[in-house]
Structure 1
Amino acid sequence: MANDELGRQLPLGGTDTVEGEGLTAAEEATEARIEQGVHNYSAAEDYVWPTDPEVRKKLEWFQDQKLALMMHWGPYAQLGVVESWALSDADADWSRTGIDWGVNAQEFKQQYFGLNKTFNPVRFQPEQWAELAAEAGIRYLVFTTKHHDGFCMWDSAYSDYKITAEDCPYHTNRYADICGHLFEAFRKKGIGIAAYFSKADWHNEHYWSSNYQRGDYMWRGPAYVPEEHPEEWEKFVQFTHNQIKELASQYGKLDIMWFDAGWVCEESGQDIRLGEVIDQVRTWQPGMLCADRTVGGPYENYITPEQCVPEEPLGVPWESCITLGTSFSFAYEDTYKSPREVVCLLVDIVAKGGNLAINVGPQPDGRLPRGAVTALRGLGEWLAVYGEAIYGTRVCAPYKAGNLAFTRKGEKAVYVLELFDRETDHVPAVVTIPYPGAVRRITLLDTGEELAFAVDEAGITVNVPGVQQGSAPAPIARVYKLETE
């Protein structure tokens, strides 16, 4: 995932042009999936419903949760640069700007890979992160155990490029095995765990090596064609399987494994046989969801739009991953969405049947940025009052109508969320709700006050008492509970 160095959200679609190296047809096909680090998403009509009853049960759980905290964190936070992507020479035109490195590409990559030697987040306190997440109404965590650069945020036995290695100053800290402590702290708050894992590993010698035709020039895929070097590729496959099994066997219950680097797939000739290892993991983690994003098929258990929200309900499980600030990784002097903006975003997604994974990039010292904390607490305050209309709900036609959004719970409760984008918005005393079903009672969700209403061909007209125009700011939302017949 990525934004540019100025924090601009990057567009979906299109292909990158790789200068200096030609790509094979398979490699070119994978380019269409990603534009400047931002992934497109799979088509809903291609979704494959899982047949495993435990996975189907877990999907119901997933669709109840609605809100995740996503976190991209690693040595790159020290510089406030985009995570990993600057290592790819093919992506240099957009990912290496903003810093005057004053060195050639190979020296730059060595400097990036050396950031582990100064990464020392001594102010990391996992219990505080978990407390804030619970306060914000977060239901599951999506944490980057490893991004494309290959740096492991857990004590992997299969890599020396990790947070617990002796050349990383943080390795002596009591919280050094960051994934272990973070996962446990969040579980104690009743928050689910999703382990984000990049299928690419740009630090691994069996993936990137200068011993092939490319030399030192690298793109996001392997340095060689896997079909031409099957023994080398098999070494990488086994390394990847070992790390996946390590996370799934030594770090407690995982609700989800969230796989990035969708270009690593059978279609591109880079088959790591993910299904093989996931089937094995599910023998001890029954029902664990697998989000093999942009790949499709039976192991992409939900679809993952990035930095965008679909126009319509997808009819299948999905989750939009969107930054709270302007960047997935920590960016100095970043700006963050207001609680009002996040609530409106969440409601838009939930009304269309999706989940929101709101991303925060922690600071290099281990703290969460103050602007992010303020936004999350504001979100939690709103959800503490109106969460009934969000959690555990499903789509309800007409989904969206103007500034009205609809959700339902069971067969007898419909929620209408009237959103106000700005504090200066007009707050009407009479609201017409275009809901076609029969309704016997309407109340305000926050107070329980019953409202008078009338039904005609335009819908349900509701009189809302206590509306004060003038200097009073518009609420973030008014939420009506419709008890249906």
Structure 2
Amino acid sequence: MLQGVGALALLAPFGESVGQEQAKDAAKVAQQEHAKPTGDGYVPVTDPLVKQKLAQWSDWKFGLILHWGIYSVLGIVESWTLCSEDWIKRPGGVGYVEWKQRYEQLRTKFNPVKFDPAKWAEAAHGAGMRYLVFTTKHHDGFCMFDTAQTGYRVTAPDVPYHANPRANIAKAVFDAFRQRDFGIGAYFSKADWHHPDYWSPLWATPDRNNNYDVRKYPEMWKRFVDFTHAQINELTTQYGRVDLMWLDAGWVNANAHPDAKAYGMDVPWAQDIDMPGLAAIARRNQPGIVLVDRDVSGPYENYRTPEQAVPDKPLPYPWETCMTAGGSWSWSPHDTYKSPRELVHTLVGIVAKGGNLLLGVGPQPDGELPAAALDRLRAIGAWMQVNGPAIHGSRAIAPYAEGPFRFTQGKDGSVNAIWLAGEGEQESPATVVLRSFKPAPGAKLQVLGAGGELAWRPQGDGIEIALPQALRRQLAGSLAWTLHIPAVRT
């Protein structure tokens, strides 16, 4: 891309551009952020409006998360090269101070002239996705919305894209997806490595945490909390309906224990962002908004977000796996994407265990979605066009799995038995046996999208279902197919 090529010139004095290995290292860094479990402290939602919105979110099942910012200009994973932790590598061995200066100059190269959020929304809707989470601000502090709180924003005069009618990118994205009736989620980092009252220029920045003792300088921290609350107020008053506030940077929390540690680092003070006050602002402006205070157990973590992993079994609280379609959250020029089979099977496995899948794609610096990502979305969409009724609005039902089958339950009590076709499986078997559920007498079984009824008969403690040759030909090469059972008895 022209923007990316121009940005690489920023690194020329160091004799090295950003390569595939740096992107892979940065991806590993980002995954470490959420490596630690939050424990058993889930607090059930009691607010009836939030409960209603949470139930709606649970019906959506499949969403899209987009990491996009000035880091995309170089094709590196979001923000992390700014962090001065010793396992983070910067291109060409560039020193920290020089790299930070050059990173912040990326804003002068951000000019996504091909950005058309309606095309993003069309692709996501076609894939069967029903909600969006968009990065309004990552840890680097660069705002992808027209905030009045800082000049470090996409609409600032020194950003080439600022004069474009779509320069207020978060608003353009939210409006386009809302036109497709998507649920709208705002990703927002509670940390802000650009703000002088988070990473003060008076001291070095040893790690991801704020770099001064908030007990000694409470006035500085108070300014940062006020700044954060003001931005939350902007996002929940100026951008239409917002269903989810997806808050990242779990190390910013109210744990006031004198030996508090954030991700293994000694931090003997709490980075208390005043979540009660933040929640009050968000819910005054957006009644019923779901808050996702990631990795911070308590009343503001309305659902949990295991990252890049699928739990082994259903969880006793609302949850969502957030996972990349490739290897990186944000755009990487050398990324390798998961196959359509892996993505569909992952979606089915998550939904069968009662969760949602939030799939990550990183837009390119020119504003388009990568061709490989679009290919995956189209493939998933073709499968969802037929099998979506077994996903959307469904709920988990024990035993969740039997051999190649994964089970979901419709709101009418019916059961969907989704057969996960193995790699290279070109033809389904002539008969399948199901022991977990027995249809009610006279029940009419069918494969979604195929039409016609299937013959079945009792066999031992289960049933045997015949798949006619014509149906097997129709299902040949399928990633997965769904046996619909209108009523069951366990």
Q: Same fold (TM over 0.5)?
A: yes
Are 1:41 and 1:303, in contact at CA under 8 Å, matched by a contact in 2? no
Task: Provide Cα deviations, 1:335-373, integer angstroms capped at 9, x if missing partner.
Answer: 222222211110010000000000000000111100000
Does the C-alpha gap of structure 1 residues 204 and 8 become closer, same or farther in structure 2, counting only changes over 3 Å?
A: closer
Deviation string for 1:155-194 (max 9, x for gaps)?
0000111100011111011110001111001101111100
* Percent of residue pairs bearing the same amino acid type: 45
Other-structure match for 1:100: 92
State how far apart, in whole Å, the 2-side matches of 1:8 and 1:325 are.
Answer: 14
Q: Following the alignment from structure 1 to structure 2, what is the Cα–Cα distance between the partners of residues 381 and 35?
A: 30
Task: Summarize the Cα distance change of 1:127–1:257 in structure 2 as closer, same or farther, 3 Å threshold.
Answer: same
1:481 aligns with 2:456: no
8 Å CA contact 1:415–1:482 kept in 2: the answer is yes
Matched, 1:266 2:254: yes
Paired residue for 2:152, among 131, 152, 161?
Answer: 161
Matched residue, 1:376: 377
Match of 1:157, SS state, is: coil
How many Å separate the matches in 1 of 2:322 and 2:22?
A: 19
> Match for 1:173 among 157, 164, 167?
164
Tell me, in whole angstroms, the C-alpha distance in 2 between the residues paired with 1:373 and 1:57: 32
For 2:421, give the aligned amino acid: F
Matches within 5 A, 1:256-405: 256-267=244-255, 268=260, 269-405=270-406
* 1:34-80: CA deviation from partner (whole Å, max 9, x where unpaired): 8634444434x421111100001111101100011100000111111
The runs of 5 or more residues in structure 1 that have no matched partner are 17-33
How far the C-alpha of 1:460 sits from its partner, in A, is 2.1
CA distance 1:399–1:8, shift in 2 (3 Å): farther
Contact 1:37–1:85 (Cα < 8 Å) also in 2: no
- Give the root-mean-square deviation of aligned CA atoms: 2.2
> 4+ residue stretches of structure 1 with deviation over 4 A?
8-11, 467-470
Report the CA distance between 1:278 and its aligned residue: 1.4
Does the 8 Å CA contact 1:9/1:326 hold for their aligned counterparts? Answer: no
Q: Distance in 1 between matches of 2:455 and 2:332?
A: 50
Q: Which amino acid aligns with 1:210?
A: P
Q: What is the match of residue 454 of structure 2?
A: 451
Report how far residue 283 of structure 1 moved: 2.1
1:25-174 maps to which residues of 2 (within 5 A)?
36-43=32-39, 45-90=40-85, 92-96=86-90, 99-100=91-92, 103-174=94-165
Q: Distance in 2 between matches of 1:353 and 1:4?
A: 36
Q: Give the whole-Å Cα distance in 1 for the aligned partners of 2:341 and 2:142.
A: 35
| 2:22 paired with 1:5 | yes
Aligned AA for 2:250? G
Distance of aligned partners of 1:134 and 1:443 in 2 relative to their CA distance in 1, 3 Å threshold: same
**How many angstroms apart in 2 are the aligned matches of 1:6 and 1:281?**
35
Kindly provide the CA deviation profile for residues 277-310 of structure 1, in whole angstroms up to 9, marking residues without a partner as x.
2123212311100000110111100000100100
Q: Quote the offset at 1:469 in angstroms.
A: 8.3
Alignment deviations for residues 183-208 of structure 1 (CA, whole Å, 9 cap, x no partner) = 00110111110000000000000000
Equivalenced residue count is 454
Decide which of 200, 212, 216 is 1:228's aligned counterpart. 216
- Aligned amino acid, residue 87 of structure 2: D
* Cα deviation digits, residues 79-108 of structure 1 (max 9, x gap): 111211111111x42343xx215x321111
What is the CA-CA distance between 1:412 and the residue it aligns to? 2.8
CA distance in structure 2 between the aligned counterparts of 1:305 and 1:425, rounded to whole angstroms = 33
Contact 1:41 1:293 in 2 (8 A): no
- After superposition, the Cα gap between the structure-2 partners of 1:9 and 1:38, relative to the gap in structure 1 and judged at 3 Å, is farther
**Using the alignment, how far apart are the partners of 1:228 and 1:404 within structure 2?**
58
Give CA-to-partner distance per residue, 1:258-289, whole Å, 9 cap, x none. 00000000115011012222123212311100
C-alpha distance in 2, partners of 1:252/1:234? 28
Aligned ranges for residues 178-193 of structure 1 at < 5 Å? 178-193=169-184
Asked whether the equivalents of residues 308 and 320 of structure 1 are also in contact (C-alpha less than 8 Å), the reply is yes
Q: Given the alignment, which residue of 233, 246, 267 partners 1:245?
A: 233
Amino acid at match of 2:244: I
Kept in 1: contact 2:81–2:89 (CA 8 A): yes
- Residue identity matched to 1:176: A
Q: 1:379 to 1:469 in 2, by over 3 A?
A: closer
Structure 2 counterpart SS, 1:374: helix
Kept in 2, the 8 Å contact 1:149–1:202? The answer is: yes
Per-residue deviation, 1:426: 5.8
Q: 1:143 to 1:242 in 2, by over 3 A?
A: same
Instruction: State the AA in 1 paired with 2:301.
Output: E
Q: Distance in 2 between matches of 1:158 and 1:247?
A: 12
User: Which stretch of structure 1 is more off in the superposition, 448-457 or 124-133?
Assistant: 448-457
Decide whether the 8 Å contact of 1:454 with 1:461 is kept in 2: yes
Q: TM-score, normalised by structure 2?
A: 0.88
Conserved? CA contact 1:42–1:295, under 8 Å: yes
Report the alpha carbon displacement of residue 455 of structure 1 after superposing the two structures with TM: 2.3
Structure 2 spans left out of the alignment, 5+ residues: 1-19, 261-269
Distance 2:465 2:23 in 1: 46
Task: Give the aligned residue type for 1:479.
Answer: T
Pairwise CA distance, 1:4: 7.1
Q: For residues 221 and 316 of structure 1, what CA distance do their matches in structure 2 show? A: 29
Q: TM-score, normalised by structure 1?
A: 0.89
Question: Using the alignment, how far apart are the partners of 2:401 and 2:23 within structure 1?
Answer: 33
Three-state SS of the structure 2 residue aligned to 1:262 is coil
| Contact persistence 1:210–1:223 (CA under 8 A) | no
Q: Does 1:203 align with 2:199?
A: no
Aligned amino acid, residue 355 of structure 1: N
What SS is found at the alignment partner of 1:381?
A: helix
Displacement after TM superposition at 1:227 (Å): 2.1
How many Å separate the matches in 2 of 1:469 and 1:483? 21
1:27 aligns with: none
